[in-house]
């Protein structure tokens, strides 16, 4: 194959933006995608997109586990077994990647999140961090990342109301957000009646409710790449689905159509990269090897290699390529696979016998939120946990198979169940906890010794469980949410139980993070603050894999921000002077 | 009756009788409206079993096969086709041994009792966990009752009527987002649109026919 300037592995939120930015800088860019080509106009045409069974239960846009999955165990003393069907999370497999079917919540992390270890020690002392907790600073601070959050928001047409404009608190926004340099590109969503119930209850309790930011257009919007995104009709079917209206920003609507017009860009779908190749010194990447649709093994030379795949695959490709020292949980040494983390969540439901709503009207990004319990807003010294959560009341468009919360004590089936379903579907206000997840010495990713993918290569193995710190945090968040539920004065309410063990069975979130984390010290990170491999300077590993731990806000906006940040540093610094960036 | 008009792709006659009887207990026909049997859930399950999902075509299916912990999820080497085929045979054999007749010929109260013991995993079947069978049956029953009628269940959109879900969204939803007035419409399915029984607007959203508010509510 003819050499290219840059090969980008994956065409999702990271791969599309990095390809676009590097192509704009004049580089010859090849993007390799394991999934199939997508034409949103025909692949996701109305009315067929409004099919809950097809997309939520049997989706052919999620990873095909018959070819590749992960194995999982709660702890090292167990034998990891393959995730045979999708449950806890839903990585994508097509042009556009996982972000094609995201819900559209687009939230920035807090400044605190990027320097969490230093800030926690500064305020509470080093003893406050659990002994096995391996959280670390990201190596970047708010001033570094703010312009790139801003850039991503202008690619994805994010809607919202600023709560902090250049240090000045603004009414109606999130007062706890980091200072932003300008307003959101689009105005916030309107507030639903359920959101109003939540807003009144939280305001009564002294919190500051705001409309959550997201990427479902609140008006027709021309983005940074001169693409038109159309106003959202609030018909639901967002998460797990691809928007037929092009109203949800994702790689297919907000980036790829502009990229296809670039002469110096090529996208090759159905090409599954299995290895990053290096020269005899092991210090320089020479390109990648992939298996094409016909099953041929192809070597693709490139000057720059960008791994832009899902958290799992970025880590697995490094392990399969022998780049970076694999993490060993016994000694704590090694970096690849270290600091795997996830996202905590919880649900409280309030039921109103005397009120009905229109729960099917909404979108994945329509919600009313509070951020008062997140980051370091509240003194944690007496609470005894690291981390936080945002609380929201979402109206994502209640689809009938999966979105029918029922009061506790309702039978699971039969006439009483049917009565309860009929009565409650339109009478619920949900209160959701969306919380951080710290990283720990014993939670990591490595290669499975037994199970193989369809190409005979070892599967990635996940060892993960909920830590006492997260359970403690959730217990406290649940108490706050129950206070909020009570303030709504519902007929009844209930809270989900806090799981004692992490299970890969129920859907939780596609927010898997870490494994190839960024940082300032090569002994505790895979990539430097520019997402550049410490070992192989012409290799960049970008995505959720770079999060040293996960913050409360969903990861997508920060993943997009990291793509903008890494691309800009490659363009402005690396291309001019290839080599390790300091 | 919808079922009399249907030919089955996967299910055998005794399996159809079993499923018609079982889903009628899981979601019964009552004063609130038709149940799962009338909604065509057996037809739905037949279609699912004949699909890629029926053989777990997108699942990881390589060994070694170990039971694992509950947190590690589904580890059975059986496909849905096998779980239904073997499960129904073995449950009917259990019923014959205990009550001298197959499941579908038991009294409804006895059927409920048996479904509850299956749900708890208390019936010892030779080849599979009775809980595994029940959980799959309930999952598919709920899906069939609420999925788009194009899959053979939820006929006449009875599941959607029960809860007030209007189906394929209307292009006017954005104007109702912040309004407290109740939106009540005759549900529209993908099947309705594709067979010309419902209209769409210029952008392809469903045109809803609004229902009058119920008197006295």
Say what the ipTM of the complex is: 0.96
Distance CA A220, CA A5 (A): 36
State residue A443's pLDDT score: 98
Q: Which DSSP string corresponds to chain B?
A: -GGGG---SS--HHHHHHHHHHHHHHS--BTTB--TTTTTHHHHHHHHHTSGGGGTTTS---S------GGG----S--HHHHHHHHHHHHHHHHHHHHSS-GGGS-HHHHHHHHHHHHTT-SB-SSSBHHHHHHHHHHHHHHHHHS-GGGS-SGGGHHHHHHT--BSPBTTHHHHTT--S---B--B-HHHHHTTSS-B-TTSPBPPPBPPPPTT-
Per-residue pLDDT at B103 exceeds 60: yes
For CA atoms B189, B191, B197, B201, give the dihedral sign.
Answer: positive
Q: Which DSSP string corresponds to A29-59?
A: EEEE-SSB---HHHHT-TTTT--HIIIIIS-
CB of A420 within 8 Å of a chain B CB? The answer is no
Residue among A36, A40, A53, A429 with most chain B CBs within 10 A, to mutate: A53
CB of A197 within 8 Å of a chain B CB? The answer is no
- The DSSP letter of residue A350 is E
Per-residue pLDDT at B1 exceeds 50: no
Query: Residues with Cβ < 8 Å from A407, sequence gap 6 or more?
Result: A349, A351, A420, A424, A492, A494
pLDDT (average), residues B108-123: 98
Distance CA A454, CA A449 (A): 15
State residue A269's pLDDT score: 98
Residue among B27, B169, B170, B190 with most chain A CBs within 10 A, to mutate: B169
Q: Collect the ranges in chain A with pLDDT lower than 50.
A: none
| Termini Cα distance of chain A | 33
What average pLDDT does chain B have? 95
Which residues of chain A make contact with B61, given a CB cutoff of 8 A?
66, 84
CB of A233 within 8 Å of a chain B CB? The answer is yes
Angle at A364 between CA A360 and CA A368, to 5 degrees: 90
For residue B57, give the nearest of A52, A66, A412 by CB distance: A66
Of the candidates B144, B145, B8, the one whose C-alpha atom is nearest the C-alpha of residue B85 is: B8
pLDDT digits (tens, 9 = 90+) for A223-272: 999 999 999 999 999 999 999 889 999 999 999 999 999 999 999 999 99
Of the candidates A316, A267, A293, A328, the one whose C-alpha atom is nearest the C-alpha of residue A33 is: A267
In chain B, the percentage of residues whose pLDDT exceeds 70 is 95
pLDDT band per the 50, 70, 90 thresholds, residue B216? very low
Query: Residues with Cβ < 8 Å from A572, sequence gap 6 or more?
Result: none
Query: Dihedral of the CA atoms A193, A197, A202, A206 (nearest 10)?
Result: 100
CB distance A368 to A199 below 8 Å: yes
CB burial of B2-18 (b: ≥16 within 10 Å; e: otherwise) equals beeeeebebbeeebbbb
Flag if B71 and A503 touch (Cβ within 8 Å). Answer: yes
- Is the bond into B64 cis (omega within 30 degrees of 0)? yes
Q: What tokens were used for A223?
A: 């983005």
State residue B132's pLDDT score: 97
Which residues of chain A make contact with B72, given a CB cutoff of 8 A?
72-73, 80-81, 83, 504
Say which residue the tokens 């999925």 belong to.
Answer: B147
State residue A58's pLDDT score: 87
Distance CA A531, CA A113 (A): 18
For residue B68, give the nearest of A47, A81, A413 by CB distance: A81
For residue A84, give the nearest of B73, B171, B180 by CB distance: B73
State residue B5's pLDDT score: 67
How far CA A169 is from CA of A166, A375, A446, A557, in Å, comes to 9, 17, 45, 22
* Per-domain boundaries in chain B: 2-161, 166-217
Strand, coil or helix: A576: coil
Strand pairing category for A444-452 and A458-463? antiparallel
Per-residue pLDDT at B167 exceeds 80: yes
pLDDT band per the 50, 70, 90 thresholds, residue B217? very low
How far CA A241 is from CA of A16, A64, A244, A385, B146, in Å, comes to 19, 16, 9, 36, 17
Strand, coil or helix: A523: coil
Known catalytic residues of A are: 511
For residue B60, give the nearest of A65, A78, A413 by CB distance: A65
Distance CA A248, CA A113 (A): 27
CB of B1 within 8 Å of a chain A CB? The answer is no
Which residues of chain A make contact with B25, given a CB cutoff of 8 A?
413-414
Task: State the CB neighbour count (10 A cutoff) for residue A150.
Answer: 18
pLDDT digits (tens, 9 = 90+) for A269-301: 999 999 999 999 999 999 999 999 999 999 999
Flag if A413 and B27 touch (Cβ within 8 Å). Answer: yes
Angle at A517 between CA A445 and CA A279, to 5 degrees: 85
Flag if A74 and B53 touch (Cβ within 8 Å). Answer: no
């Amino acid at each position: 194959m003819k050499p290219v300037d840059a090969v980008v592995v994956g065409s999702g939120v990271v791969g599309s933006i990095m390809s676009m930015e590097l192509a704009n800088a004049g580089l010859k860019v090849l993007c390799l995608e394991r999934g199939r080509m997508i034409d949103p106009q025909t692949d996701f045409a109305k009315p067929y997109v409004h099919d809950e069974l097809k997309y939520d239960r049997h989706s052919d846009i999620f990873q095909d586990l018959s070819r590749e999955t992960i194995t999982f165990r709660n702890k090292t003393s167990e034998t990891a077994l393959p995730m045979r069907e999708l449950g806890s999370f839903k990585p994508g497999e097509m042009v556009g990647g996982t972000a094609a079917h995201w819900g559209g919540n687009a939230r920035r992390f807090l400044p605190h999140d990027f320097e969490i270890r230093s800030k926690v020690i500064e305020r509470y002392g080093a003893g406050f961090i659990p002994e096995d907790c391996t959280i670390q600073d990201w190596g970047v601070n708010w001033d570094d990342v703010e312009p790139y959050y801003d850039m991503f928001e202008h690619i994805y047409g994010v809607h919202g109301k600023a709560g902090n404009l250049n240090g000045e608190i603004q009414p109606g926004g999130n007062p706890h957000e980091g200072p932003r340099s300008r307003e959101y590109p689009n105005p916030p969503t309107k507030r639903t009646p359920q959101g109003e119930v939540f807003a009144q209850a939280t305001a009564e309790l002294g919190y500051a409710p705001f409309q959550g930011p997201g990427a479902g257009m609140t008006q027709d919007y021309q983005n940074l790449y001169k693409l038109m995104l159309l106003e959202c009709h609030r018909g639901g079917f967002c998460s797990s689905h691809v928007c037929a209206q092009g109203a949800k920003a994702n790689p297919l609507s907000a980036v790829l159509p502009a990229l296809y017009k670039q002469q110096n860009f090529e996208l090759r779908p159905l090409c599954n990269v299995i290895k990053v190749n290096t020269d005899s010194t092991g210090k320089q990447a020479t390109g990648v090897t992939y298996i094409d649709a016909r099953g041929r093994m192809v070597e693709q030379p490139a000057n720059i290699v960008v791994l832009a795949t899902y958290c799992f695959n970025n880590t697995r490709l490094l392990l399969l390529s022998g780049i970076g020292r694999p993490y060993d949980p016994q000694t704590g040494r090694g970096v690849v696979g270290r600091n795997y983390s996830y996202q905590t969540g919880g649900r409280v439901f309030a039921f109103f016998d005397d009120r009905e709503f229109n729960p099917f009207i909404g979108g994945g990004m329509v919600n009313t939120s509070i951020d008062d319990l997140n980051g370091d807003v509240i003194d944690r010294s007496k609470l005894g946990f690291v981390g936080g959560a945002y609380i929201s009341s979402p109206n994502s468009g209640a689809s009938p198979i999966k979105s029918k919360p029922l009061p506790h004590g309702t039978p699971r089936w039969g006439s009483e169940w049917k009565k309860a379903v009929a009565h409650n579907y339109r009478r619920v206000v949900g209160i959701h906890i969306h919380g951080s997840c710290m990283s720990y010495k014993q939670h990591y990713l490595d290669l499975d010794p037994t199970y193989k993918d369809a190409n005979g290569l070892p599967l990635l193995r996940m060892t993960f469980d909920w830590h006492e710190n997260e359970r403690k945090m959730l217990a406290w968040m649940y108490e706050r949410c129950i206070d909020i539920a009570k303030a709504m004065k519902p007929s009844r309410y209930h809270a989900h139980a806090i799981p004692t063990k992490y299970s890969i069975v129920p859907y939780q979130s596609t927010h898997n993070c870490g494994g190839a984390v960024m940082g300032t010290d090569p002994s505790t990170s895979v990539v430097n603050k520019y997402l550049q491999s410490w070992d192989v300077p012409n290799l960049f590993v970008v995505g959720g894999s770079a999060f040293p731990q996960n913050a409360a806000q969903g990861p997508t906006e920060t993943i997009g921000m990291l793509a903008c940040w890494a691309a800009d540093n490659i363009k402005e610094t690396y291309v001019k002077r290839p080599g390790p960036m300091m | 009756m919808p079922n009399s008009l249907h030919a089955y792709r996967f299910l055998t006659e005794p399996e159809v009788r079993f499923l018609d009887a079982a889903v009628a207990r899981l979601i019964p026909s009552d004063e609130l409206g038709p149940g799962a049997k009338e909604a065509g859930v057996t037809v739905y399950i037949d279609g699912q079993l004949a699909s890629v999902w029926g053989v777990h075509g997108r699942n990881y299916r390589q060994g070694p096969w170990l039971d694992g912990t509950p947190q590690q999820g589904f580890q059975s080497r059986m496909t849905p086709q096998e779980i239904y085929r073997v499960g129904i045979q073995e449950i009917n054999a259990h019923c014959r041994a205990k009550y001298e007749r197959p499941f579908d010929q038991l009294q409804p109260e006895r059927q409920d009792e048996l479904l509850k013991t299956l749900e708890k995993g208390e019936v010892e079947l030779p080849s599979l966990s009775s809980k595994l069978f029940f959980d799959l049956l309930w999952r598919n029953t709920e899906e069939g009752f609420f999925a788009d009628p194009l899959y053979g269940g939820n006929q006449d959109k009875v599941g959607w009527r029960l809860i007030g879900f209007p189906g394929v969204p209307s292009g006017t939803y954005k104007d109702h987002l912040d309004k407290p007035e109740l939106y009540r419409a005759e549900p529209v399915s993908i099947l309705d649109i594709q067979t010309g029984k419902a209209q769409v607007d210029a952008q392809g959203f469903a045109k809803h026919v609004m229902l009058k508010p119920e008197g006295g509510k």
